[in-house]
Structure 1
């Protein structure tokens, strides 16, 4: 008999919600470092061209997407005393930390093709193999800890709250740490290597905290039943029949494309368009602070209106902020636009992963079998491809604009390219998210789907 604590529809403790969110804080010590600073590291420390670095990232993301699908299949077929997803966090956090240090430690002796090969290899070890190996199980845990719709919303809230704190940490400390460790030189290899070593020690400790505190109740309940073997192809077929999952995939692809292009261009925007790279921390952190404050409010809003409506409203607010920042470099206005964007990101970030888990649960009811690992993996595939293509798009746009890292003053076309990446690309992707959520009317069907699943019934049984 299952204890009340292992009830699949359980209300979670604040500690467990926090522990789950800490997993994304840790993940953002890697993800945000890549999004905000990897291109800067490649161009300003290693000396690689923006276009070459962007091409490496873009091509690698295709491989990364394939590994996501493979990892989802592995999670669905994992059986251990810790559950399906949780053990992978403990198994892979150390290899990921080591490879992240190697990625930000390109040997100065390497040049040309050898340098490109090293960048390609280490980037893929981080993103394609080990980050995938942790992130897919971590995302899957969201749906395996409870089926309670409001609790899933809160988990998404905690996850995004602490992910934002992780991003804020990276935005605040990286350049200060590289300067301190580099003896006053923010762009020395020694400074970057030591900075990432410190961050990765923290990364390992936080992942182990998540592992020890969180539980997989839904998997525990289902272990008493004989599980149906679902092939890789059948799992994918299940997903593409689920219109709500497809809408979330498009929305998440757009979100991650936007975030990579926007966050990756923010440092360039303050350094070259605003002529003061010292503005970067304030511009970035005001967004994070506004996002964090909003995340404390969204749980109360979600009780009044659905997660879907909060998500859609958030992207509308973000669009206003992006449009505002497209027409000025005034410090006060850019800071104000960051606050507006942060409010929108808070609404969207608090709800997007909860909406995804609801869509996956609906898919289990709709198709007659569950593929939580595959659903999260395929979604992660699209998020990573979106992230990679967003970073690559930034590099290609900068390259097309004639960006030159060695130039103290950029050309007019380079400045325009930075503005496009910082403002107009995010406007387009935000509108795509709004359209997706307009058609995401799952709230009308979710309660019935969960009630049927609790009785062991599916749509196909009727």
Structure 2
């Protein structure tokens, strides 16, 4: 087992390749951001689907993700082509993923509610449980396959989050504008995401042709890891469990805050168009801050950088209350939260890649695909739980999608998911980070791995 990988690959990845790598998450986020920010709003206010029913579908779908994520991880680990083990799947899944994203926003509005829910269930799972998994698990594995240099991985993670946030910015800035341009009805959403789907496909093409897998097994004929072996190894990897839990909580927060923004803008501020400005300011602040984060990560490490980001995000969220919920306060909050988000976004994927090396050191098994697939399941569970919580809490609060005025209880529920719950979740993540010590152990661990491989 100890000779599975070559010596640590510390190749410095060029700027153009870093950008090409980041375009993979740009493509993913074109659809992913739409799912977290606007999909529930589209279902409730345009397609006429019950919020609680949709939330339940999203929650159930997360358990299906568990099967498909792990299966895709095993497939990636067993893939052997001239392009590597991850990049071929990005090429194969790009067009199907773009097309399926359009189908999400094409609910037949003339159908009865039961048939609408069936359509939602099928298309949501096609995108989330099948095609997103088939393209995102290989993409997530690329970081660990391009280099083993820990700082270089952090830089790649920064570019990933930078381009992902750019994709998010485009969705947040232009979705409602394009929907209005195309007629502000259900079919307008289909037309809008036909455009975005093309952008997603092009982004994946750039990612495929612009990157290279460098970290390869020394023994190409080594025995393949069985499913049982792989799962057992994952649960011996304490840092993988911590990072997976952190990802789940981060994405619960993301789904809650971005998904509730349009409801907050429409029902609290009186204009759903303000949601674009709220999210856009947050995205722009995050993009600008991304260019300044690398020195902090190099000096402070991944764990401490994430912790700082979470504290900044929480301060930004508190500003909503301190400044009285005014438009100025909301905009200021968005900027501060975007700055905090840059720190978390810069390191979270590099932390997953570091757990691949820890897993190899701990168990003798190196599993880029399975490790990232299981983490993918964790953050998709987070996204699903966040969306489900949003739908359920709004439903319990009595939110009526097509009502002109919401009840006092509905307004309380919107405030709760927009800022109260996100702060509480940040505090839980900070507690988990207290026990994460891999940054300090990484250099010695890699030295030990290299010593074993030389024996």
CA distance in 2, matches of 1:448, 1:100: 44
Mapped pair 1:104 → 2:93: no
Counterpart residue number, 1:22: 23
Question: Deviation digits for residues 188-223 of structure 1, max 9, x if unmatched?
Answer: 12211111111111111110110011111012xx15
Counterpart residue number, 1:400: 396
Q: CA deviation at 1:30?
A: 0.5
CA distance in 1, matches of 2:371, 2:97: 23
Give the superposed CA RMSD.
1.5
Alignment of 1:310-389 (within 5 A): 310-326=305-321, 328-389=324-385
Q: CA deviation at 1:323?
A: 2.5
Mapped pair 1:190 → 2:187: yes
Q: CA deviation at 1:339?
A: 1.1
CA distance in 2, matches of 1:278, 1:134: 32
Change (3 A) 1:89 1:448: same
CA distance in 1, matches of 2:398, 2:71: 39
The answer (yes or no) to whether the contact 1:403–1:414 under 8 Å persists in 2 is: yes
Mapped pair 1:246 → 2:241: yes
CA distance in 1, matches of 2:49, 2:37: 16
Q: CA deviation at 1:329?
A: 2.0
Name the SS of the counterpart of 2:83 in structure 1: coil
Counterpart residue number, 2:209: 212
Counterpart residue number, 2:123: 122
Q: CA deviation at 1:276?
A: 2.0
Q: CA deviation at 1:228?
A: 3.1
CA distance in 1, matches of 2:109, 2:394: 24
Q: CA deviation at 1:320?
A: 1.4
Question: Deviation digits for residues 311-343 of structure 1, max 9, x if unmatched?
Answer: 111111111122232463201111111111111
CA distance in 1, matches of 2:122, 2:230: 30
- Deviation larger for 227-236 or 375-384: 227-236
CA distance in 1, matches of 2:433, 2:173: 33
Q: Which runs of 5+ in 2 are unaligned?
A: 1-6
CA distance in 1, matches of 2:260, 2:223: 47
Mapped pair 1:49 → 2:46: no
Counterpart residue number, 2:436: 440
Change (3 A) 1:208 1:368: same
The answer (yes or no) to whether the contact 1:312–1:438 under 8 Å persists in 2 is: no
2:416 to 397, 412, 420: 420
The answer (yes or no) to whether the contact 1:365–1:457 under 8 Å persists in 2 is: no
CA distance in 1, matches of 2:234, 2:424: 26
Q: CA deviation at 1:355?
A: 1.2
CA distance in 2, matches of 1:173, 1:225: 47
Q: CA deviation at 1:168?
A: 0.7
CA distance in 2, matches of 1:47, 1:329: 30
Change (3 A) 1:326 1:48: farther
The answer (yes or no) to whether the contact 2:26–2:167 under 8 Å persists in 1 is: yes
CA distance in 2, matches of 1:48, 1:108: 9
Counterpart residue number, 1:3: none
CA distance in 2, matches of 1:227, 1:429: 42
CA distance in 1, matches of 2:12, 2:420: 41
CA distance in 1, matches of 2:336, 2:435: 25
TM-score by length of 1: 0.94
Q: How many residues align?
A: 448
Question: Deviation digits for residues 113-145 of structure 1, max 9, x if unmatched?
Answer: 111111110111111100000000000111110
Counterpart residue number, 1:39: 40
1:288 to 270, 283, 288: 283
Mapped pair 1:277 → 2:251: no
CA distance in 2, matches of 1:84, 1:14: 23
Name the SS of the counterpart of 1:46 in structure 2: coil
CA distance in 2, matches of 1:351, 1:140: 15
The answer (yes or no) to whether the contact 1:103–1:119 under 8 Å persists in 2 is: yes
Q: CA deviation at 1:304?
A: 1.6
Q: CA deviation at 1:455?
A: 4.2
Name the SS of the counterpart of 1:10 in structure 2: coil
Counterpart residue number, 2:257: 262
Name the SS of the counterpart of 1:360 in structure 2: helix
Question: Deviation digits for residues 64-120 of structure 1, max 9, x if unmatched?
Answer: 222111111111111111111110000011111111111211112311211111111
Mapped pair 1:229 → 2:230: no
Mapped pair 1:454 → 2:450: yes
The answer (yes or no) to whether the contact 2:48–2:109 under 8 Å persists in 1 is: no
The answer (yes or no) to whether the contact 2:265–2:273 under 8 Å persists in 1 is: yes
Name the SS of the counterpart of 1:324 in structure 2: helix
- Deviation larger for 389-398 or 72-81: 72-81
